[in-house]
A = this chain, B = another copy of it.
Amino acid sequence: MEKELFVTLLRDRHFKAVRTILNAMNPVDTAALLAELEDKELALAFRLIPKEEAADVFANMNNSMQTYLVEMFTEKELKELLDDLYMDDTVDILEELPANLVVRILESVGQQKRNMINVLLNYPDDSAGSIMTTEYVELRQHMTVAESMTHIKKTGIHKETIYTCYVTDKRKLIGIVTAKDLMTADDNVQIKDLMETEIIAVHTHTDQEEVAKMFGKYDLIALPVLDAEDLMVGIVTFDDAMDVMVEEATEDITKMAAMNPSEKPYFETSVFNHAKNRIPWLLILMLSATITGQIITKYEDAFAVLPLLVSFIPMLMDTGGNCGSQSSTLVIRGIALDEIHFKDLFRVVFKEFRISLIVGVVLALANGLRIFFMYHDMNMALVIALSLVATIIIAKLIGCILPLLAKKVGLDPAIMAAPLITTLVDTCSIIIYFTIATKLFQL
Contact call B317/A317, Cβ cutoff below 8 A = yes
Contact call A26/B200, Cβ cutoff below 8 A = yes
Contact call A326/B245, Cβ cutoff below 8 A = no
What is the 8 Å Cβ interface bit string for chain A, positions 308-324, against chain B (1 contact, 0 not)?
A: 10111111011101110
Instruction: Report the minimal beta-carbon distance from A241 to chain B, rounded to whole angstroms.
Output: 8
Contacts of A115 in B (CB 8 A): none
Contact call A283/B215, Cβ cutoff below 8 A = no
Contacts of A287 in B (CB 8 A): 366, 370
* Chain A residues touching B, range: 35 or more
What is the 8 Å Cβ interface bit string for chain A, positions 272-313, against chain B (1 contact, 0 not)?
A: 101100110111011101101110110010011001101111
Distance between Cα atoms of A321 and B331 in the complex (Å): 22
Contact of A293 among B289, B314, B330 (CB under 8 A): B314
Instruction: Report the minimal beta-carbon distance from A327 to chain B, rounded to whole angstroms.
Output: 9
Contacts of A179 in B (CB 8 A): 162-163, 179, 183
Residues of A within 8 A of B (CB): 24-26, 28, 149, 152-153, 156-157, 162-163, 179-180, 183-184, 198, 200, 215-219, 221, 238-239, 241-243, 245-246, 249-250, 252-254, 256-259, 265-267, 271-272, 274-275, 278-279, 281-283, 285-287, 289-290, 292-294, 296-297, 300, 303-304, 307-308, 310-315, 317-319, 321-323, 325-326, 328-331, 333-334, 337, 339-340, 344, 347-348, 351, 354-355, 358-359, 362-363, 366-367, 370, 418-419, 422-423, 426, 430
